A = this chain, B = another copy of it.
Amino acid sequence: MNETLKQYNEQVNQQLETSLPSPQGPAERLFSAMRYSVFNGGKRIRPLLCFAAAEAIDKTTQATSVVAASIEMIHAYSLIHDDLPAMDNDNLRRGAPTCHIQYDEATAILAGDALQALAFETLARIDGVSADNTVELLRLLSTLGGCSGMATGQAIDLAGTGNALSLEELKFMHAHKTGALIEASVLMGAVATGQADRKQLAALSDFAQSIGLAFQIQDDILDVESSTLQLGKRQGSDLANRKPTYTSLLGIVEAKQQAADLYSQSIESLDIFSEKAATLRFLGNFIVNRDY
């Protein structure tokens, strides 16, 4: 299993290498900052979910790599902008200086902007997918990465910092901020195969919604329990930023229980796929049990 994931990881990295502009010419600094942020040792969870969903429906192809790369670009842009001084003001990510520290703030803003555009450009140039499905891929990424997804989640997060949120509000925020792009990952992996039916897409949506929330709860648990070294960012930074978290609202024991329950739900959603969803199940397990 790990061999398969390692291979997918290499495939998406190769695609990112191809799709990102070479760091040269008059915009060298911008292109270099884009690469710096994309190749910073991320876990590539979203791309892996994308490959695993393609497997569950049919099989992975070159188009899966292209879709996975486009999702990772959106993820990378969101991290660059979230780290900015006006947002979370983080200097460290995965043990390295954040983009605006390594380059400068203007370049970081622009690198995020350009990565977002490149994600859509990469999809719009995909080969081996029908035009109808290409439009559907673009619709999913722009919707779930934008006003009906990630951007709205980030807006609620901004509004919530320093304020008390109810558990329902916290869930709503994370379903948008993190969950939406995780949902996009599995749905887009499936759509790119050209073989997914409605029932399968609904099951993948259910899986993504459960595992997306579990992912965030585990993030909050790690923020409390892990060291700065393991996390590659300041331990307890959510607490320091007075961000509402699952652990602060539920306590750590109940937070762990909810993550376990969500994991079970996510696995149940995959029943219709039998053995073809083995990689998705493995990733679900990894998401709730990871220690970094």
Contacts and interface: CB of A to CB of B under 8 A. Distances in A.
Instruction: Give the contact-size bracket for chain A.
Output: 35 or more
6 contacts: A26-B156, A27-B152, A29-B155, A113-B116, A117-B142, A121-B139
A135 interface: yes
A27 B139 contact: no
Given A81-B109, A131-B132, A138-B138, A27 B156 contact: yes
List the 4 closest pairs (A to B, CB-CB), nearest first.
A117-B146, A131-B131, A86-B105, A121-B142
A134 interface: yes
This protein's copies in its complex: 2
Interface string A23-47: 0001101110000000000000000
Given A86-B109, A156-B26, A135 B124 contact: yes
Kindly name the residue among A120, A123, A134, A173 whose own CB sees the greatest number of chain B CB atoms within 10 A: A120
Contacts of A87: 106, 109
Interface in A52-79: 77
Given A121-B142, A142-B121, A81 B113 contact: yes
A204 interface: no
Contact of A26 (B31, B116, B138, B159): B159
Interface of A: 21, 26-27, 29-31, 77, 81, 84, 86-87, 104-107, 109-110, 112-114, 116-118, 120-121, 123-125, 130-132, 134-135, 138-139, 141-143, 145-148, 151-152, 154-156, 158-159, 169, 172-173
B142 A120 contact: yes
Nearest to A34: B147
Contacts of A151: 27, 30, 110, 113-114, 117
Contacts of A135: 124, 131, 134-135, 138
Given A106-B158, A109-B87, A30 B138 contact: no
Contacts of A118: 142, 146-147
A229 to B, nearest CB: 29
Given A106-B86, A121-B147, A112 B114 contact: no
Contact of A121 (B124, B131, B143): B143
